[in-house]
Amino acid sequence: MDIYLVGMNHKTAPVEIRERIAQVCRLTASPLEHRPHCRAVEEMFFLSTCNRVEFLFTTHNGSDGIEEITDIMVRLVGLPKEMVLKHLYVHKNLEAVRHLFRVASSLDSMVVGEPQILGQIKEAYREATHYRTVGVVLNRLLHKTFSVAKRVRTETNIGCHAVSVSYAAVELAKKIFGQLQGKRVMLLGAGEMAELAAAHFRAHGVRDMVVVNRTLERAVELARRFQAQTIPFAHFLDALLDVDIVLCSTAAAQPILYADDLKPRMRKRKNRPLFFIDIAMPRNVDPKVNDLDNVYLYDIDDLKGIVDLNLSERRHEAEKAQLIIDTETLQFHQWLQTLDVVPTIIALRRKAEEIRQTELRKTLSQLPGLGDKEKEAIGVLTESIIKKLLHDPIIFLKKKSVRDSKNMYVNFTQQLFNLDREETPVSSLDCTDG
């Protein structure tokens, strides 16, 4: 059994491709519903954020498993397969585990050290448990992932002074205008990213902000906190006449602003420059808006220069975090290797228990005068003998499970005890015995 991770992120795919996948995944049923139709995929976990789409799965047939997962992505996005393949990465076993640990620890994020990714992975795990697509291996791996991320955040300073995408967006606005005092800002969306951006705009001297959101109550609450104005969502196009910067972060599945909507309003603005910073995924603003005179549109990929600076500042902490991740990856891999001997251990226990039960029935049938207390004592005695007798062979097999020669010892044990060769499903195994 192998673990694979197939996906694309901000390093391998442009925003046009990522938003297509994120949009489709948001509009349709969960991709996890495709799991029963995948013959080669056993356990499955799906993660989708504004910067990545990834499938983590287990399989005994890697090539077929990758093919099935790729087909799911192609069907979801409706793009030519060769285009999707061009942006995909595939990690196997150790590399898959290491990648997941890096993602959860925010080392693979656009903004290194940002804390949101761990919450997003936990939410994706809750969805996987809801659809029952995770079993022994991925359950163990994801819980280990949570503990590794916590350890990285506790033992390093990776999260200290970490910037967010919202912070990077405000920094970009600063680079454009030099200073932000006196600028009027529209926050299109009132979620967490808008809230963070509002705080950063205020910190950089912006005192004139307007909040627009489909849910007016949320807009009013955010505006109250930052002494801003609110405008009904239906009127936001007209409100563009007197703002300088628009920061977009709504959860809309389709663009909410097109060039045809903006063009007449730019004439009314007498072509005063208007800057859009679109950090939503999918994007809120149609890219053709950028073709209009005096309109400047920046999307999340344009923040890369600012977050690269963030990476260099955290490079030392990232190296410390990577050491933790490498150590934890090896430990998980050792646990994974022990799964190869577990079916034999289970078969050994099962055979011993069958013999114990058979012999116990024969013996008790010859002793009709025994009371319940005596029968129970004999039962406990036989259980104890079996457990102690099997202890050393089981420990021996577990120690050999990390060796290349483990298959030889497994075969030897099966022949020695004449075990049933029928494999026990890993998902039903209890491998906690010492």
CA distance linking residue 144 with residue 431, whole number of Å? 17
Q: What is the 3-state secondary structure (H, E, C) of 333-364?
A: HHHHHHCCCHHHHHHHHHHHHHHHHHHHHHHH
Task: Reply yes or no on whether the pLDDT at 52 is more than 90.
Answer: no
Q: Are 371 and 387 in contact (CB under 8 A)?
A: no
Mean pLDDT in residue range 186-192: 91
Is 50 part of the annotated catalytic residue set?
Answer: yes
Q: What's the rounded mean pLDDT across residues 152-173?
A: 78
State residue 286's pLDDT score. Answer: 93
Name which of 112-126, 330-344, 364-378 the model is least confident about: 330-344
> Could you tell me the pLDDT band of residue 163, with boundaries at 50, 70 and 90?
low
Query: Beta strand pairing status for 208-213 and 184-188?
Result: parallel
Give the pLDDT of residue 124.
Answer: 93
62-77 vs 15-27: helix crossing angle, rounded to 10: 90
- Range of lowest pLDDT (151-165, 181-195, 404-418): 151-165
- Rounded distance between C-alpha atoms, residue 349 and residue 396, angstroms: 14
Overall residue count recorded for the chain in this entry: 434
Mean pLDDT in residue range 73-93: 86
Does residue 271 have a pLDDT over 90?
no
Among the ranges given (48-52, 302-306, 325-329, 408-412), the one the predictor scored with the smallest mean pLDDT: 302-306
Q: What is the mean pLDDT of residues 48-59?
A: 88
Q: Report whether pLDDT(175) > 70.
A: yes
- pLDDT given for residue 433 in this prediction: 38
| Torsion 173-119-109-70 (CA) sign | negative
Query: Quick one: pLDDT band at residue 112, thresholds 50, 70, 90?
Result: confident
Query: Bigger pLDDT: 349 or 339?
Result: 349
Where is average pLDDT lowest: 1-10, 63-72, 103-112, 349-358?
Answer: 103-112
What are 166's two structure tokens?
């919202």
Question: How far is residue 381's CA from residue 375's CA, in Å, rounded to a whole number?
Answer: 10
Which H helix or E strand runs over 151?
helix 136-155
What mean pLDDT comes out for the span 158-179? Answer: 76
Q: What is the pLDDT of residue 288?
A: 93
Percentage above 70 pLDDT, the chain = 92
Lowest mean pLDDT among 76-85, 182-191, 323-332, 387-396: 76-85
Cα–Cα dist 19/22, whole Å: 5
How is residue 227 written in tokens? 């002494």
- Of the candidates 50, 160, 248, 431, the residue annotated as catalytic is 50
* pLDDT (0 to 100) of residue 408: 83
The mean pLDDT value for 141-150 works out to 94
Each residue's pLDDT tens digit, 205-230: 899 999 999 998 899 999 998 999 99
Q: How far apart are CA 137 and CA 188, in angstroms?
A: 42
Q: What is the distance between the alpha carbons of residues 198 and 79, in angstroms, rounded to a whole number?
A: 37
Residue 148 has pLDDT above 90, yes or no: yes
Which residues does residue 285 pair with via DSSP β-bridges, in sequence order? Answer: 257
- As a three-state string, the secondary structure of 378-414 is HHHHHHHHHHHHHHHHHHHHHHHCCCCCHHHHHHHHH
- Residue 381: its pLDDT value, please? 95
Q: Does residue 110 surpass a pLDDT of 70?
A: yes
Does residue 211 contact residue 219 with C-beta atoms inside 8 Å?
yes
Mean pLDDT of the chain: 86
The H or E element that residue 209 is part of is strand 208-213
pLDDT at residue 18 greater than cutoff 90? no
Which pLDDT belongs to residue 310? 63
CA nearest 99: which of 412, 258, 326, 370? 326
> How much is the average pLDDT of 118-133?
93
Could you tell me the pLDDT band of residue 431, with boundaries at 50, 70 and 90? very low
| pTM for the structure as a whole | 0.65
- Model confidence band, residue 428 (pLDDT cutoffs 50, 70, 90): very low
- How is 257-311 classified by DSSP, letter by letter? B-HHHHHHHHHHTTT--EEEEE--SS-SB-GGGGGSTTEEEEEGGGGHHHHHHHH
For the segment 360-377, what is each residue's pLDDT rounded down to a tens digit?
999 999 988 889 999 999
What are the tens digits of pLDDT across the range 227-265?
999 999 999 999 999 999 999 999 888 899 999 999 999
* Surface-to-core class of residue 430, CB atoms within 10 Å of its CB (0-12 exposed, 13-18 middle, 19+ buried): exposed
| Residue 387 to residue 395: CA distance in whole angstroms | 12
